[in-house]
Amino acid sequence: MTSAWVDLPALEVVPVGPVSARLAAPASKSVTNRALLVAALARGDSRLRHPLDSDDARAMRAAVGALGARVDDDGDDWTVSGTGGALTVPATPIDAGLSGTTLRFVAAAAALAPAPVTVTGRDGLLRRPVGALVDALRALGATVSAPGGVPPVVASGGLRGGTVTVDATASSQFASAVLLAAPYADADVTVTAAGPTADAYVALTVDLMRRWGVAVADAGEASWRVPAGDGYRARDEAVEYDASAAAHLFALAAATGGTVTVTNVAPATRQPDAAVPALLERMGATVSRSGARDDGCGASRAAPVDGGSARRARPGDHARGPGRAGPRDVGAVGCRRRARPRDRPPGGARDRAAQARRVRRRAPRRPGRHRRGAPRPRAAGHL
């Protein structure tokens, strides 16, 4: 079926010359939502510094509030009064909106509740499979149901602990969700993530758990052991930058021959797209690093490079940009190896338009006509 975005009038992207910018990237959505849930489960009051205020984060804030935590604004920070793992059972279903992260993580946390908690969402979210998460929680002793393997999810009963293999083929968040709830099981939990998945995002989860006081141990390849009884300890957490957003900024410098400095890079981050500056360097960009800062300078050539685990950003699309000729397979840089859970159209043209370039609207071409040399539209799920 043809997606609606394909039928929009064509856009011609016109370069306006090198960009020069010095700025901070936004905070990471992945870290913000993980930190919100962990702070809600922790004992005591925590502070999240400069989190990302997004639709997903608002959904998570509302969800943890329904489970008994309290989240308040304090300037650009959020303060979270945790539950110590003793969750409140809300009288109405928790609405995750369209946030898959919120639904998966909160469904796992809901398994700790003493009575059934329903986690639901809006129409698009209700079509996303959760069977692998349901199976894993049941294997650990929780009472969980999700008719047809899709939301809404109803969970309760606690986790008895043990060993579980999570099928993370569809989403690494299934493994992260089980790990995040595991410190409150009755006995130690060993989690193994099976299938091709974004392992770096599970490692991101494990690192955050360790910072919040849980001694997660490596138990083999894609396997972790979580001790029971510790729980999370409240802390002051600075939410790190979003490496995917920063990747597009660096690629913009490479595409235009300009210079972009991102001032809040976290050198030790586990985010896969933190590898993008190195990929751009291999393509001919000049990259300099100074403490917690990366500088990206314009590329003079394009070369085919394997993006490896950098799956969210698509720096090759931007580095080839308007006026930048190069091999077609440069587009492999940072390409995802499979469709992500959210089925959404590629945003290359939209991103370029938003990144300080002038866009001139053209009259739509007749159906079936394709201008020589123009990129052909990709299916929405091929990201």
pLDDT digits (tens, 9 = 90+) for 239-249: 999 999 999 99
248 and 140 both lie in a single domain = no
20 and 33 both lie in a single domain = no
Distance CA 201, CA 261 (A): 25
Domains of the chain: total: 2
Distance CA 94, CA 192 (A): 28
User: Does 369 fall in a domain?
Assistant: no
pTM for this structure? 0.76
The upper half-sphere exposure of residue 182, i.e. CA atoms within 13 Å in the direction of its Cβ, equals 32
Q: Which residue has the higher pLDDT, 119 or 2?
A: 119
pLDDT value at residue 313: 53
pLDDT value at residue 326: 32
Active site residues: 294
68 and 198 both lie in a single domain = yes
Question: 3-state SS string over 171-230?
Answer: CCHHHHHHHHHHHHCCCCEEEEEECCCCHHHHHHHHHHHHHCCCCCEECCCCEEEECCCC
Q: How confident is the model at residue 37 (pLDDT cuts 50, 70, 90)?
A: very high
269 and 301 both lie in a single domain = yes
Query: In this structure, what are the phi and psi dihedrals at residue 240, rounded to the nearest 5 degrees?
Result: -75, 165
Give pLDDT tens digits for 55-113: 999 999 999 999 999 999 999 999 999 999 999 999 999 999 999 999 999 999 999 99
Distance between alpha carbon 34 and the CA centroid of its chain, in Å? 10
pLDDT value at residue 113: 98
CATH number at residue 152: 3.65.10.10
209 and 348 both lie in a single domain = no
110 and 245 both lie in a single domain = no
Give pLDDT tens digits for 213-265: 999 999 999 999 999 988 999 999 999 999 999 999 998 888 888 899 999 99
Percent with pLDDT over 90 in the chain: 61
- What is the residue range of 64's domain? 29-238
Distance CA 75, CA 144 (A): 38
